[in-house]
Structure 1
C-alpha cells in the first residue's frame, strides 16, 4: 500500500499547487481510491467527495449514467466510465475526477471482458477527458490495488501537464 499512499500524497501536493479539488466515481474499487486519498492528512483541502456507485442503479441515480449506455455497453465500458467521470464533476465541487468500473473477480468475467478488465475515465472542468481500459493480473485484491494505483497516477499525470 506504500505506493498508493505515495501517489495520494503526490496527488494532494499537485492539487494544492493547481488550487484544484478532486472527486471519485468508483465501482469495482469500492471506495479504495477515496480511502487512499483520505489517508493523507489535510486531504479535506483538495478532496471534495466520493461516489461509490457499485450497482447500475446507483450509477444512474447518483451521477446520471444513462440506462441506455449501460444496456448498450455494459457497466464495464469506456462509455459508462466517461459518463461516471462527467457526472461526478457535475455533482461535486471538484475540478478533476476519476471513474473506475471493472471486473475484479474471481467471477463475473466473460470472453470479451475477462476478470481483471478495468475501465477508467479521467475528466476535468476544462473539458479534458481521457479513457483507458486495462487488463490486470492477480486475484481480486491485486486487481483492485492496481486499479487504485492507476486511478491516482492518471489524475497526477493530468495535473503535471498543467503545472
Structure 2
C-alpha cells in the first residue's frame, strides 16, 4: 500500500495518525507529510531521540527505560501510547532502535522495536515487535524502519 493509500484509508475511516520516532528522527512523519493534503489525517509527529525527550514528550516511565533500555518493546509500547495521549490521533506508530554504526552483543546494529497503539484499546492490545534488520548502515536501517512502520500502519487500517 502506498503512502497515499494509507492516508486515503485513514481519511475514509475518519482516523488521525501520530508518530513517535527515535532512530528515524522524523522520517516516518516526512513520508506521510510528503503527500499533499495529509494534514487532515496526520495530526503530529514526536521526534524523541533522547531518553529525556521520551519521558517529557511521551510519558515513557524512567523505570521502563532503566529496566529494559530505550531499544525495547516495552519502551516502544509506551512511546506509542504516549503519542496517542498527547495528540488528537486515533492510531500511533512508534520506533526505537540502533541505526548504527555500532551496537552491542545484546542490542546489535539494525535492531528496531516497533509499537502500534489505537485509541480506545487496552495497553495490552498495543502491538509490539522487534526486527533485526542487520548492519545495513545507518541510512539503510532508517529507511527499512520507515518502510516497516508504514506497513504496520497500512495493516492496522485494513
8 Å CA contact 1:97–1:123 kept in 2: the answer is yes
1:157 matched to 2:155: yes
Out of 107, 126, 149, the residue aligned to residue 129 of structure 1 is 126
Q: Which residue of 2 aligns with 1:144?
A: 142
Which consecutive aligned stretches of 4+ in structure 1 deviate over 6 angstroms post-superposition?
A: none
| TM-score where L is the length of structure 1 | 0.92
Aligned residue pair count = 154
1:157 positional shift: 0.1
Residue 7 of structure 1, CA deviation: 2.9
Task: State the partner residue of 1:3.
Answer: none
Question: Runs of 5+ in structure 1 lacking a partner?
Answer: 1-5
**C-alpha displacement at 1:11, in angstroms?**
1.0
1:100 alignment counterpart: 95
Contact 1:7 1:149 (8 Å CA) reproduced: no
Q: CA RMSD in A?
A: 0.9
Shift of 1:135: 0.6
Q: Secondary structure at the match of 2:157?
A: helix
Q: How does 1:56-95 map to 2 (within 5 A)?
A: 56-95=51-90
Unaligned runs of 5+ in 2: none
1:30 & 1:81 partners in 2: Cα distance? Answer: 14
Distance across 2 between alignment mates of 1:8 and 1:51: 19
Distance 1:27 1:155 in 2: 17
